[in-house]
């Protein structure tokens, strides 16, 4: 229901009917409608945040040279620029983040999910540093946050009616990545 109609459309009776359980059971386990919505939003955030991370990590870690590493980053960047805007997944993630406004428990949960996600990006960056693909003088966690920030920030291009050409945007992002590759001169 959240995916198709938003929070306002969620009715405990409808959820109970769809799940084949009594309304009281939902209220017991989630402390009511708000708890159910928060749990569902938290699940959606986790799912959206972790989508494709394993594929990206495997592809990037499989690189054998800095040029190969940059080429793989270019592939994933071009794919992220083109694919996610068509699916609306970036906008969905922004909406999920917005759903935590005024909900301290949900905000704290998103923080935990985000920490875990950044930990995973940090491990990928550190592995790339240890194999000589990424500059070792840069903080691996900061690189992980950068990767997530540009990906999430692409929502700005998604909502701009005069946004940049996707290929031009991918080229700019790849240029930024080239400054992080071990063979690139520090910026």
- Per-residue pLDDT at 61: 75
Q: Which domains does the chain have, with CATH numbers?
A: 1-30 (no CATH), 38-178 (1.10.357.10)
Contacts of 29 (CB under 8 A, 6+ apart): none
Q: What is the pLDDT of residue 84?
A: 58
Backbone angles phi, psi at 4, to 5 degrees: -95, -35
What pLDDT tens digit does each residue of the chain (187 aa) get?
A: 887 777 888 889 999 998 999 999 999 998 888 889 888 887 777 776 566 677 777 877 789 899 999 998 888 888 888 875 655 677 877 888 888 889 898 899 889 888 988 998 999 899 899 999 999 999 999 999 998 888 888 888 888 899 899 899 999 999 999 999 997 544 4
> Residue 84, Cβ neighbours under 10 Å: how many?
21
Angle at 187 between CA 68 and CA 178, to 5 degrees: 15
Please answer whether residues 98 and 41 qualify as being in contact, where contact means their C-beta atoms are separated by less than 8 angstroms.
no
Q: Supply angle C-alpha 147, 149, 151, rounded to 5.
A: 70
- Cβ proximity of 94 and 162 under 8 Å: no
pLDDT at res. 46: 72
Note the pLDDT of residue 187.
47
What is d(CA 164, CA 147) in angstroms, rounded to the nearest whole number? 19
């Amino acid at each position: 229901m959240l995916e198709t109609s938003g929070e306002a459309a969620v009715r405990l009776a409808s959820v109970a009917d769809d799940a084949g359980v009594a309304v009281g059971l939902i209220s017991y386990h989630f402390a009511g409608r708000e708890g159910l919505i928060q749990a569902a939003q938290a699940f959606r955030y986790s799912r959206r945040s972790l989508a494709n991370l394993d594929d990206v990590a495997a592809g990037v870690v499989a690189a054998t040279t800095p040029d190969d590493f940059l080429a793989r980053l270019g592939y994933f960047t071009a794919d992220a620029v083109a694919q996610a805007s068509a699916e609306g997944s970036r906008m969905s993630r922004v909406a999920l983040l917005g759903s935590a406004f005024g909900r301290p428990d949900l905000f704290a949960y998103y923080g935990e999910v985000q920490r875990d996600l950044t930990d995973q990006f940090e491990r990928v960056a550190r592995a790339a540093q240890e194999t000589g693909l990424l500059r070792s003088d840069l903080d691996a966690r900061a690189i992980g946050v950068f990767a997530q920030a540009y990906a999430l920030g692409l929502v700005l291009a998604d909502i701009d009616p005069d946004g940049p050409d996707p290929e031009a945007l991918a080229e700019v992002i790849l240029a930024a990545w080239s400054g992080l590759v071990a063979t690139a001169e520090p910026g």
